[in-house]
A and B are shown apart, each in its own frame.
Chain A
Amino acid sequence: MRHEVMFAGFGGQGIMLIGQMLAYAGMNEGKQAVWLPSYGPEMRGGTAYCIVQVSDDPIGSPVVANPMNAAVMNRPSLDKFGPEVKPGGLLLINSSLIPDTSKRTDISILNVGCNQIANEEGTGKAANMVILGALIGATKMVKPKSIEDMIEYQFGKKGKRKLVDINIRIFNRGLDIGKTSVKDRK
């Protein structure tokens, strides 16, 4: 089984970070993983994206033109990558910053108010954890526990216990949204 996802948003939203956390989580489960960043002449506030693949078998092409899953955190990313999602795939949209949604009917669309949910839990900075949670909930790409371990690793090493707890809480809010969406579709 091979999973692929493209995360996209603007620089500073933690797009690269959630991509890396997912890749590490996959690796820690003993799977193959590839994280491929965009690294153009980027600037703060510019578009950033990365592609992550997690697979039981060796991964061939690190480049994926039409990903099965995409998570877009801002408007330009929706315009750019929304049309690229593979038919039958899943598109997660950060509805806090993107008032519109995709008009495609050949894919599943999940609108998640990432910034709003993160703000409710106390920090808008962790909107990326909401979308990561929703993705994991909807696709079961890796075990939620593996991501929680990565949150522990990522924020715990800075000695910030509070940050670990809050990020895990926010991640789990996203996770529930993802899981519920799958039930609703059935």
Chain B
Amino acid sequence: MKGNEAIGEAAVCAGCLNYFAYPITPQSEVAEYLSRRLPEVGGTFLQGESEVAVSYMLFGASAAGERVFTTSSSPGISLMAEGMSYLSGAQLPVVIVNIVRGGPGLGGILPAQSDYMQAVKGAGHGDYHVLVLAPAGVQEAVDLTIDAFTLAERYSNPVLILGDGMIGQMMEPVEFPDPETIPPPQPRPWATTGMKDRRQNLIRSLFLSPDSLEYNNMHLRAKYDAMERDEVRYESYHAERKMDVLIVAYGTMARICKTAVDVLREQGLKVGLVRPISLYPYPMQVVHEAAQKAKDVLVVELSTGQMVEDVHHAVAGSRPVHFFGKTGGNIPPPDRIADEVRKLLVKKPGKSRKTGRKS
């Protein structure tokens, strides 16, 4: 199945019957697929007049107690940034998928990882985080999309799936779990479903008194602390023993790096990989500990250097952190990455190695 279609089916599988979106390459197939699929299962597909409108359609549906999700690509996600801030402030569970394309501005339509900062550090205003998960293949995109609905409800918070054009366009075999194994939607006693015989439910992000806003901020912070404690996900590949070079990469780029690791290890070089799956919360501890087993750390991204800042933060100066990035939709093949690793393995006698970025 094509990644985009698989993400659509994963949402249906997770019992999400509401999908609002505005088409944009390279993720339009999700809308195409769900416009056909959702009516079959009694769901609603609605094309918004813009991504801004879509973000508030999510707000409304989630506030009314429904599982809801949307998909878009980079420029569309920028338009939803305001909505994400409101959704986070009002603590509404929604799932948003970003099939990233190159930027800034309209950029291009080819795969990129240049929205890391936007996703992880917050696109909108205010003290907030969304939980960010990055799949490396079509099966994982399915699994993470299904998990995202549960996580969104567990934390009453938006969850963002950060893919890229390659995940969206690629076809791979996928298996969908038995829907009965998927946790059913949590009750939402706070939802605005009509008062009848209970007190009024109010969903808002406006808190005019200093204490009530601070109370909300601290409550959000406590949720983020819990995420950082409980929701860190990563994959470690040959990074348990001593290494010459540790590669840190996520998403499809990590998958390409994995092949590079195989190539290099066949040649007897000690190279390992840590692939963060949750980008927020970031596996700081894992990257730090893996770096201690390596002489050098190489960060590989389809950007000019975004996640590398979190790796610097994790490594905290204890090892040299190098960077290799490609942009514009150019995707480095495994051999190109292997070359970058070999460059680091060339001994530089008498020279002290600088800590910092190299591109």
Contact = CB atoms under 8 A, between A and B. Distances in A.
A114 interface: no
Contact of B171 (A35, A40, A41, A61): A35
Interface in A42-85: 60-66
A41 B109 contact: yes
Contact of A61 (B25, B26, B169, B334): B334
B165 A39 contact: yes
Contacts, number: 59
A63 B256 contact: yes
Contact of A60 (B110, B172, B262, B329): B262
A37 B109 contact: no
A27 interface: yes
B267 to A, nearest CB: 16
A64 to B, nearest CB: 7
A34 interface: yes
B170 A65 contact: no
B333 interface: yes
The residue among A37, A62, A66 with the most chain B CB atoms within 10 A of its own CB is A62
A29 to B, nearest CB: 11
Contacts of B262: 60
A23 interface: yes
A116 interface: no
B37 interface: no
Interface string B315-359: 000000000000001010111100000000000000000000000
Contacts of B25: 39
Interface residues of A, number: 19
B161 to A, nearest CB: 18
A64 B333 contact: yes
B238 interface: no
A90 interface: no
Contacts of A34: 170-172
Nearest to A52: B171
A65 to B, nearest CB: 4
A180 B255 CA distance: 37
28 contacts: A20-B171, A27-B173, A32-B173, A33-B171, A33-B173, A34-B171, A35-B171, A35-B172, A36-B166, A36-B169, A37-B169, A39-B26, A39-B109, A39-B169, A40-B109, A41-B109, A60-B256, A60-B258, A60-B262, A61-B255, A61-B259, A61-B334, A62-B252, A62-B256, A63-B166, A63-B333, A65-B333, A66-B335
